[in-house]
Chains A and B, each alone.
Chain A
Amino acid sequence: MKLLDSTDSGNNSSIERTQYPYVTGTSVIGIKYKDGILMAADMGASYGSTLRYKSVERVKPVGKHSLIGASGEISDFQEILRSLDELILYDNMWDDGNSLGPKEVHNYLTRMMYNRRNKFDPLWNSLVLGGVKNGQKYLGMVSMIGVHFEDNHVATGFGNHLARPILRDEWHENLTFEDGVKLLEKCMRVLLYRDRSAVNKLQIAKITEEGVTVSQPYSLKTFWNFNAFQNPTAGAEGSW
């Protein structure tokens, strides 16, 4: 039994393995806006098909300049947060007035994910990394196999299929905070309707040159009053 695992510099006696996820978070969406980055994720963590935990924070600040959002296995995300904490700590200990920006953190995460993938022992997460440093906005994504890229809007999981098309249509440079939040909420609502693992409790986080704010948890209103929903089988009994 190991207190520390094979990925620490000690012994390397592990069997080749690809694990499977147990407790998982669903989509994260991130967009650039006028003053920085906005990121949204619900607070759910599923255990297979059970919506087991409903108050899990999946968007967290990293240092002074970045925000990280994760989907996938929560235990691996918690481990990533610990590694990032250590990274930021060591950076602060230099006490040289410099601090790691989002670009650097994104690169660190990419290396972590890719190297684990090469050992057939991935961290089972898709990560969104956003931040602002010296006026420069940065938004990137890393997948569990180490695929990484930057864009004006990114999403993980279902968000790629449901949210990004909306963002491709409606995102533009210089979104205000209000417009950005409304756009994210539009995407989160669609995910709530159409993603089985979504829960109706979310947080939206904002990062600007001034700093990070993570909103309090809140729920979205949903709309069910379409005429077509009232009697959907009227024209075709037995259908659904």
Chain B
Amino acid sequence: MKIIKSCVGALTNFEVLDLLRSRGAGKDPTRVIASVSPSEFKVFDYLEQTAACNQTRDAITKLVDECKKYDLAKAEILNIANIRPSSAVEVFTIIEECDARVEDRIDELVETFMQVLPPHPSSQAESMGEIAEDNS
């Protein structure tokens, strides 16, 4: 076995989920007929619980465009797409040296992320709290 290239490119959670869905992972309740192996199903189950489950390709490209203004590293954009931070505290862990780079625009950033990326279905129960946060 020879490794030609160890990293052709990074994949967001959404892209892997899309790949598994295109093989029929989501549509098969018996989990036997689709050409998806049990270990791939475990990955599918995990990804369905994350914020990636209702993202779209357009949302991700839009996010990348929006982040160009803030000069974020590729790894940071990847993290943001995978997690969908909904508050300033969550952004602190993702962006290094947050205070120096984006201190006063942090609320703007969080707003952008919440608008561009769709929320996770289970967190819509907490969206009443988000309305209050947005209005603050």
A and B together in one complex? no
Identify the B interface with A (CB < 8 A): none
Identify the A interface with B (CB < 8 A): none
